[in-house]
Amino acid sequence: MTTTDYYGLCETGLRNILDDLTTFFEHDWQIMNGDESGLAKGADYFARLHPASFSDTDVAAQMATTDWQIELKIYVRFKELQTSWDAFRALRAEVFYRVLQYPTLNNVSGVDGTRIGAGDTPIYIVDDPEVANPTPLFILQTLIVTVHQRIVITGGEYV
């Protein structure tokens, strides 16, 4: 029997709704899973998806419920102070609203709601943090997308 990667379904669903933001993400490589190698390719906007924590999973009557957390880092290439912050706010607003528009991540199995938030303020990624006045390369903020999913359990004690 093959086990379904329920978290993976949710992360793929989030990626798919982000793929539609072509004003920002013109190329597939601008939305990364896990590594940040795409940042060197020269685009102005990036997103990186990575597994975060998940809640205690409740199980009752062949149904499990859990809250998956997906770490979603958004990056905007730094050019000039006001222009870069305007671009950052525009990207963050689009990502935020996109998650609101698709609370089931466009009908991912068992997903019945999502939340999006940020635990911290945006930061600069700099070229050399050891120098007195490093040059900013990107504005970065880590968002957390929480996905509530119900999972039907089969097998085991539920035969």
pTM of the model: 0.92
**Tens-place pLDDT, residues 3-56:** 899 999 999 999 999 999 999 999 999 999 978 888 999 899 999 999 999 988
In CATH terms, the fold of domain 6-152 is STM4215-like (3.30.2000)
Cα torsion angle, 120, 41, 12, 76, sign: positive
**Tens-place pLDDT, residues 93-111:** 999 999 999 999 999 999 9
